[in-house]
Structure 1
Amino acid sequence: MGLVVRKPGVYTSIQDNGRFGYQGSGFSTNGVMDHRAYTIANLLVENEPNAPVLEFALAGPMLRFTTKTIIALTGADFGATIDGEPAPRYTALMVKRGSILRFGAAKTGCYGYLAIAGGSVRVPEVMGSRSTNLKCEFGGWKGRTLMTGDYLPFVTKSLDFLPNLGSHRIDPDPFYGFEEGEVRVRVVPGPQEDLFTNQGIETFYGQTYTTTAKCDRMGYRLDGPEIETRHGSDIISDGIAFGAVQVPSHGRPIIMLADRQTTGGYAKIGTIATVDIPKLVQRPPGSRVRFEPVTVQQAQELLRAEARQFEMLALKVRRPSADGISPRRTARRLTPILERQAAKTQADTLWIDRANRAERVGSRNALQYDEAPDKKAGANDAPQNASRGNGRTA
């Protein structure tokens, strides 16, 4: 039981939180581009935090479900429909066996996510992760993006119930600010900030940059004013973090993302705060970006605040609701209770209520047999009483 890919969409792959501990061996971390949308999607269907999801960009896939299950859609708005009916985002949705889930082109944002209740799709874990490494061709589904005709089995064969399903929804996330013409992202300066002139640093934080069509899971190239360096931007290659802002010799920043190389030889003027990376990756080409410096401590506090927000969301989606009880499960749980109660009630009834008709009415023959001696005894008693009375009066 799982889903069949009718149309693969654009860059549709299986991703989770990422593959860590192997960058020293040259393997990228991979994982989702928008960790915020990914986390909320798994919260809505009560999956484990690192459960895999389907990630797609710019245009979504068309999928057919071969079993009944519950899903959640987050991230960009692709105008999704289930069997022709609108499928809202940020809501746990029941899909039936044979249902068709369709996505169009992205209306807002770039990356969309599909989470499936019960642990999502069943794919092997490679080096501690189920994320797809497209360059090395391992992980995820056969180490590649999805193709027409692929059949992806589910971890749970059929899942038709989640407690309090009516509460598994939140308002569309205002965090991204899609309606705003410009996005501001916070940056931790360094580690090679000293290789840039003061004018170069002021340009980076004071000017507006624009996302270009040269963007993918590896990195986003920005267009804008040139960032001035002291003696060029070439350095001895060192490690690259998620969100690192490299400045090549042409002076325009490149932001390194999920499928980035493990090391690089260009100076890094800063690293985008983890909480703000989703804002950037959801911006289509032509979007305006401004950078704002923050300290390491401030970036860490932002991350802790986001973790607290996720905890509150987890409580919110599990609050009691009118449809929080499954009739079948309730019947199975109540049956032994009602049987015990019925047995106790039967034991507490009066004898006359428990007795059958023969016990209540009795046998006619037995009744006549019992009455005859009484009548005979009554007739014999009369003379004796009379004689006793005569004796006393005499």
Structure 2
Amino acid sequence: MRFMSFEVIKPGLVSTIQDEGRYGFRKHGVIVSGPMDRFAHRAANLLVGNGPEAATLEMTLQGPILIAQSDMLLAICGADMGAVVDGRAAPLWQPFILYSGNELHLQYAAHGCRAYLAVYGGFKADYVLGSRSTYQRAAIGGYEGRTIRAGDVLEVEKDGLALEVVNEVERGSKFVSSMIRPDYHDNPIIRIVKGKEASTFTLNSWSRLLSQSFLVTSQSDRMGYRLSSEPKLELESGLSYEMISEAVVAGTIQVPSSGQPILLMADCQTTGGYPRIGHVITADLPLVAQVKPGGQLRFQEVTHLEAQEQLLLQAMDLKVMGAGVKSWLRGL
């Protein structure tokens, strides 16, 4: 059977295939991975009629140049990388058709940090421990467990492109409303809840966490964002920054002996040995994922109930959007 595919002309800075992540193995020390910005990943998949399990191409800072080897239905969500098709602007947060021979060129992210390219059928990738997500340190999942390179051919899981869908897409009537998109900023205010060891920090340190800005340093990556600010965060007198390792997840804010926080992200380890001063709420992790090195974060405390409400609202927005998309993708 002939599968749809792209040829990679230029790979971009860091472009990897990601799906929802590798769940069920954290007890064995296997990390979850998956997209840094889950909202953009899920929205892109919904726009092309994919289920949540489909793999997208996550592109960081500088996007790739791809040539279509067949007609395909695509969507790009997340950072604005100034996508162009054969010299003409391609839409963001909206499905479009890429015809065989067309060149899709994604440039430097002018707004945001990461964009997600979804194709109807999802990207074909190595399936390891229940996931297609790339984890580069272990060289598993994705495209040979690595970032894509020039000359690679990215195949699509299944073929298909209905005339009815082509006609509807070309009318440009389907897109993600700005009302439900995350409000990406270079210097966002991020909501957090207290961590288990928050009470071991001085009261001044907790106040500083909520009042001062933290620089996202150049040492930040998919494993975690290293933050910097002065004065540093301090524990109560006599307490140690070294502790018996306990569970951590994406969003956990740990503080090592330097007093400079580390905000764990999609490729974070399963356990950590530093005190956890707070946790970013899940609904705000997409905002963090779109901050480039050199940007700044500010934190605002919310309750666990508020954190749950925000996640439910985000899930409802995606569900409503998905229901609307299904009505016109039945021809696929």
Same fold (TM over 0.5): yes
Contact between 2:126 and 2:140, CA under 8 Å: does it hold in 1? no
Q: What does residue 203 of structure 1 align with?
A: 208
2:269 alignment partner AA: Q
Q: What does residue 24 of structure 2 align with?
A: 21
Deviations 1:339-379 (A, max 9, x none): xxxxxxxxxxxxxxxxxxxxxxxxxxxxxxxxxxxxxxxxx
Tell me the percent identity. Answer: 36
Cα shift at 1:123 = 1.9
- Structure 1: distance between partners of 2:124 and 2:303: 41
1:199 alignment partner AA: N
Contact between 2:75 and 2:92, CA under 8 Å: does it hold in 1? yes
Matches within 5 A, 1:232-243: 232-243=240-251
1:51 alignment partner AA: A
Of the three residues 69, 80, 92, the one matched with 2:72 is: 69
Contact between 1:57 and 1:112, CA under 8 Å: does it hold in 2? yes
Give the secondary structure class of the aligned counterpart of 2:318: helix
Matched, 1:218 2:212: no
- Structure 1: distance between partners of 2:186 and 2:80: 17
1:122 alignment partner AA: K
Q: What does residue 147 of structure 1 align with?
A: 149
Deviations 1:270-328 (A, max 9, x none): 110001011111011222211111122221111111111111212333556xxx897xx
Matches within 5 A, 1:1-394: 1-117=4-120, 119-161=121-163, 163=165, 164-165=168-169, 166-172=172-178, 175-178=181-184, 182-225=187-230, 226-230=232-236, 231-318=239-326
| More helix per residue | 1
Cα shift at 1:160 = 4.3
Q: Structure 1: which 5+ runs fail to align? A: 330-394
2:315 alignment partner AA: A
Q: What does residue 377 of structure 1 align with?
A: none
Cα shift at 1:173 = 6.7
Contact between 2:112 and 2:186, CA under 8 Å: does it hold in 1? no
Closer/same/farther in 2, CA of residues 9 and 263 from structure 1, 3 Å limit? same
CA RMSD of aligned residues (A): 1.9
Q: Name the structure, 1 or 2, with higher relative contact order (CA <8 Å, separation 6+).
A: 2
- Structure 1: distance between partners of 2:177 and 2:97: 18
Cα shift at 1:189 = 0.6
Give the secondary structure class of the aligned counterpart of 2:115: strand
- Structure 2: distance between partners of 1:310 and 1:209: 30
1:16 alignment partner AA: D
Contact between 2:186 and 2:291, CA under 8 Å: does it hold in 1? no
Greater C-alpha Rg: 1
State the TM-score, normalized to the length of structure 2.
0.92
Cα shift at 1:154 = 1.3
Closer/same/farther in 2, CA of residues 161 and 33 from structure 1, 3 Å limit? farther
- Structure 2: distance between partners of 1:181 and 1:110: 9
Deviations 1:234-256 (A, max 9, x none): 21111111110011111111100
Cα shift at 1:124 = 3.4
Q: Which stretch of the first structure deviates more once superposed, 9-18 or 188-197?
A: 188-197
Deviations 1:55-97 (A, max 9, x none): 0101000101111010000111111111111001011101111
2:42 alignment partner AA: T
What is the number of residues matched between the two proteins?
322
- Structure 2: distance between partners of 1:325 and 1:193: 50
Closer/same/farther in 2, CA of residues 122 and 161 from structure 1, 3 Å limit? farther
Q: Which stretch of the first structure deviates more once superposed, 286-295 or 259-268?
A: 286-295
Give the secondary structure class of the aligned counterpart of 2:314: helix
- Structure 2: distance between partners of 1:237 and 1:73: 39
2:124 alignment partner AA: R
- Structure 2: distance between partners of 1:126 and 1:177: 34
Cα shift at 1:177 = 3.5
- Structure 2: distance between partners of 1:161 and 1:243: 43
Deviations 1:94-146 (A, max 9, x none): 111111100111101100110001x2122232111110111111111111110
Give the secondary structure class of the aligned counterpart of 2:124: coil
Q: What does residue 346 of structure 1 align with?
A: none
Cα shift at 1:16 = 0.8
Cα shift at 1:23 = 1.4
- Structure 1: distance between partners of 2:113 and 2:187: 16
Give the secondary structure class of the aligned counterpart of 2:78: strand
Q: What does residue 386 of structure 1 align with?
A: none
2:161 alignment partner AA: L
Give the secondary structure class of the aligned counterpart of 2:9: strand
